[in-house]
Each structure stands twice: as structure tokens, then as C-alpha cells.
Structure 1
Amino acid sequence: MWTQKGRKGPKHVSTEKKKKNMATPVRAARLCRLAGRTVTCVSVARSLPARRCYISASTGNNFEFRLDELTAHSSLDLFKKNTAVIYRMLGLDPSHVQNNPERFRDWAVVFGDEKISGGRHYWEVTVKKSQEFRLGVAEALMSREDCVGTNRSSWVFGYAQRKWFAMTGNKMVPVAQVGKPDRIGIRLDYEAGVLELMDIEKHTIIHTIRAQFKNPLCPAFGLWDGELLTHSGLEEPEGLK
């Protein structure tokens, strides 16, 4: 079991032209002791319709967000109008980034800029050349000293070492999934306490995390190589109703 520190240096880079000289951060070890509350995860193997048909979400509004640059670690560079993020090995010198309490200083994490306090919501993520990332939700006021998945205020699906896992409370649960889809769906039902990972290409729900959400949540992302492109404002796929 392991967690990955944000390669000392993840902060948000608004496509800065040139990065200050700084020592190349040593790639932190992948393995980390995980301890804490066991997360209750339920694997779901039901098939979705072969046809990608959409219906309106229960809230009546399609959830739309961008990535919040105020939260982004210095090694994370936002682009495409803050809908995408790329990991930069060097990143910016943390001392040259605006210091604010919302920013992750030690972990390569960024939040979405919208809060969720109820309803059912759906978004997708395109993964490009990344072999290590985390996708899910976290409480808006989660400690910026933690990484998503390592505490009881974040719930994520992660991919590393060619394997999937579900994680919260610093407890990792393997997810039986072969391969890495290029595009992934995330569905959140706040009242039901359900967070689901969907394989868009195979039209299946890969895994479900069940929890009790009590505080406002934000979409949450951890990235240690490659790129992630978010797609929000989508209607919920029919098979996830």
C-alpha cells in the first residue's frame, strides 16, 4: 500500500513561460503505509445500454465546473480554460506561487471550483499519458496538508502501477479492472452516499464507493504524470439512473 506525495513542487502553473531553476525533485517513493478506517466499497457489474443515451440529472441542472487554480499545487499547470491539468516535473518554485490557505503545498492535487451540497451529478475525465492519478471528490474544507484519499474527508478512485483502487481514510481497496480507459465517468449521488466509477467505452460501472457525505464536496484530482482533461456540464448516462 502506498500514497504518493506531490513530488515536492506541485502547484498550479498558469502556463508560466519559464520556470525558475530549481533542483529536480527526486521522485518520491510510491509505497506508503496506509492505515485508518476501512472504506466500504461495492463492486458493480451491471451493464449499461450499448447506446450512449442521456437523460436529465435529478437536480434538473447539469453540473459544470472548472479547475480551481487557487488550490493547485505548484507542479500542476492548468490549461484549456482551466478544464485540463498537466503535471510538470519541475513545476514552479513554491516560493514564487501565491501563498493562500486553499493551495496544496505538498501534494499534486487540484480541486474543482464548484461545491456540491446535494443532488446527483456526473462528469467525465480524459486521461492522457498518465500512469498515476486519482479522481473523485473531497470536502471543500479538507486539509491542504493531506493528499486526496488519505483522510476521511475525501473519496477517490486511483490508478497506479497498472492497477485500480478505491481509497478513503487512508485505506486502499483493489478494484478488479483490466486496462486503463482513455475516458472515465464519475457519478456522485450526494444523498444516497454513492460515488461510482464508470468505464465509458465498455458501458459498465466499474466500482462503487458508499459513504455518508455531510459537508460540501468538490471534484478532486491528484496527478503525478501526464494530463487529465475534465468534461462537465454533461447529462447523466441513462444506465446510471
Structure 2
Amino acid sequence: MVTQQTGLDTNSLMNNETHKSCLPSLQEQPQCLQGLLEPSPLMTIKVQEFHPEADVNTYPLLRLGIIIFIIFLCKNEYGNSGELRKENGDLRKENGDLRKENGDLRKENGELRKENEKFQMEIDQRRTQFRNGWQKASLYPDWRKEFFQAVNVILDPATAHAALVLSEGNKCVTCGEESQDLPKDPQRLNSLPCVLGHSVFTSGRWYWEVDVRDSGAWDLGICRSNAMRQGKICVKPENGFWAIRSYKDEYWVLTSPEMQLTLKEHPTRVCIFLDYEGGCISFYNMTDKSHIYTFSQGPFNVSLRPFFRLWLGYSKSLTICPVPDA
């Protein structure tokens, strides 16, 4: 019993010694860590060490310059922003003006469209009225052509006066410098410088145009196929001629007696309309589309031919216009 107790005491003593021997090492450990945990002294780097020539007083000035430069940039940016805002405002105003102008144009366009529709309705009404009574109407030669057929008139050399020269194709007649030596022909008009067209009309409604701009004096119209051609000829309806005349810038209708016409504009083209069954021969100034004169005498009962006359010493030429779409 005593021995066992003594052994225990011995072991306890050994353990105590061991603990005591370890204490110094544990106490030394905080001292070792203390060097790591304590803050290191601050290090200062002097600019002079890298730039010995730099002056310490230079850096405040440098900072001031940088600040001024930044202020300048901000101010410049602000100024540019102000200009942009002003320009943007001007553009908005201009855009508003353009929208207003566009609205005005749309309104004006709408009004013009209404006027055009109204005008077109009036034209359609007049066209309808014209179609219902075109025989009595003396206006709108182009509309009148809708009721007539264009004829390709060719001059007949066998009827041409000896002083007249026909072009190749017999579409133009000119006064020659002297009379030609032509064979005698009962069809030839020998007393007046006239020529007839090849076309012979016994029915229908026809029209043709003659270019008179190169002629100082002329007679244009229609005559009976059996009208007198030899000897003295007087161009008037009683003798089978229905014609108008231009002479020295005066215009006449060859009735009995002759009647002077007043034209607003000198014609460069004359259109002749023949309504055989209606007994009407009408003349139109195609330069200003105006009506010149109409012969009305009831239905014809004889064949008719186009009639052309030049005046020696005054006339140059007459040209038959080509047929549209021919």
C-alpha cells in the first residue's frame, strides 16, 4: 500500500517537472510572434532621391496647373454642351417650322385636289353636252375630231395649175418661178393657181389639216368634183366652192359677198371638217384652237374634193399635215 502511494507521487513529480520544462518555450513563442504582429515603421520615399533636380516648390504649382486644366476642360465641355443644347433647340424649332409648312402644303394640296376634281367634273359635263349637240357647237376642235375620221389627203397632179410645183409624195404645193409646159387636161384648173386633192367624198364625216405658216396668201376649202375648172373662176358657194382666204394678213370667208373675219391669232395650221350628211364645212385655227367659220347648207348631193389655192407673187407653199397615228 505504502509502495503504491510512493509510486504515484513519483509519477506526479515527473509530470510537474515536465510541465515546468515546457513553460519557457511557451513563454518564448509570443515573443517570436510579436515581431511579426507589430507594425513596421513607415517608409518614406523622397522624390528628390529619383529626381534630384526637382524643386519641392514645383509640385504645388503642378497640382494647381492640373486643377486649372481640369477646370478648363469642364468649362469647355460645359460650353460645348451649351452650344449643342442651343443647336438642338434651333433644330427643334426648325423641325417645328417644317412640320407646320408640311401641314400647310398638305392642306393646299387637298384644296388643289378638290379644285381639280371639280374642274374635271365640269370638263366631263361639257364633254357630255358636246357629244349630245356637237353639230351646233363651234368650240373644242380636238373633241370634234372624235366624231370625224382623219383622211390622208394627197394632191392630184392632173388638176394642178401649170404655175404650181408639187413635192415628191404630193403633200406640198409651191408656186414655181414660171409656168410649166404641161399637157392639156380637162381636169386641170388653168385660170387660177389651184390644185385639188385626190380624195373624193360622197358620205361620212372627215377632217384634214394644212400647214400654212410658209404661205403669205392662200385659199383653203372644198369644191364640187364637177366645179368649173376652165376659164374665169369665181370662188364662192354658188359656183361649188366653200373656202376661206388669207391675203396680206387679212382673213375672209368667200361668200357672196365676201366677209372679212377677225382672228385673235394668225393660224399656222388650219383644220377643215366635212360633215357630208349634215351639210356642214367648218374651219378651225389649230394654233389657238379657235373656230374660224362654218358653212351650213343642208345635205350635199354631189361628190366633193379638197381645194387649195396659192397666190402668185405672194404665196410660198402649203403643206398637208400627216394623219395622226398613220
* TM > 0.5: yes
Report how far residue 174 of structure 1 moved.
1.6
The reply on whether 1:69 has 2:153 as its aligned counterpart is: no
The one of the two structures with greater contact order (alpha-carbon pairs below 8 A, sep at least 6) is: 1
The reply on whether 1:230 has 2:320 as its aligned counterpart is: yes
Q: Quick one: which of 202, 209, 212 aligns to 2:288?
A: 202
Q: Quick one: which of 90, 105, 111 aligns to 2:178?
A: 90
In percent, how many aligned pairs have the same letter? 26
In the other structure, the counterpart of 1:130 is 215
What do you get for the CA RMSD once the two structures are aligned? Answer: 2.4
In the other structure, the counterpart of 1:120 is 205
Distance 2:183 2:138 in 1: 46
Deviation string for 1:31-63 (max 9, x for gaps)?
xxxxxxxxxxxxx995428xx5785545xx532
The reply on whether 1:191 has 2:277 as its aligned counterpart is: yes
Q: Quick one: which of 254, 267, 272 aligns to 1:181?
A: 267
SS at match of 2:195: strand
Report how far residue 128 of structure 1 moved.
3.5
Contact 1:130 1:227 in 2 (8 A): yes
Distance 2:144 2:140 in 1: 12
In the other structure, the counterpart of 2:74 is none
Distance 1:188 1:79 in 2: 25
* Letter matched to residue 231 of structure 1: C
Gaps of 5+ in 1: 1-43, 236-241
Distance 1:202 1:75 in 2: 32
Structure with higher Rg: it is 2
Distance 2:324 2:239 in 1: 28
Cα distance change on mapping 1:200 and 1:55 into 2, 3 Å: closer
* Letter matched to residue 196 of structure 2: F
Say how many residue pairs are matched: 184
SS at match of 1:128: coil
Distance 2:257 2:321 in 1: 28
Q: Quick one: which of 74, 95, 100 aligns to 2:185?
A: 100
In the other structure, the counterpart of 1:36 is none
Distance 1:177 1:54 in 2: 20
SS at match of 1:70: helix
SS at match of 2:305: strand
Distance 1:71 1:231 in 2: 20
Deviation string for 1:135-181 (max 9, x for gaps)?
0000011110225437431100111131111114x531222214421
Contact 2:209 2:320 in 1 (8 A): yes
TM-score (norm 1): 0.69
Distance 1:176 1:101 in 2: 37
The reply on whether 1:217 has 2:277 as its aligned counterpart is: no
Contact 1:63 1:234 in 2 (8 A): no
Distance 1:55 1:180 in 2: 22
The reply on whether 1:79 has 2:167 as its aligned counterpart is: yes
TM-score (norm 2): 0.52
Contact 1:104 1:144 in 2 (8 A): yes
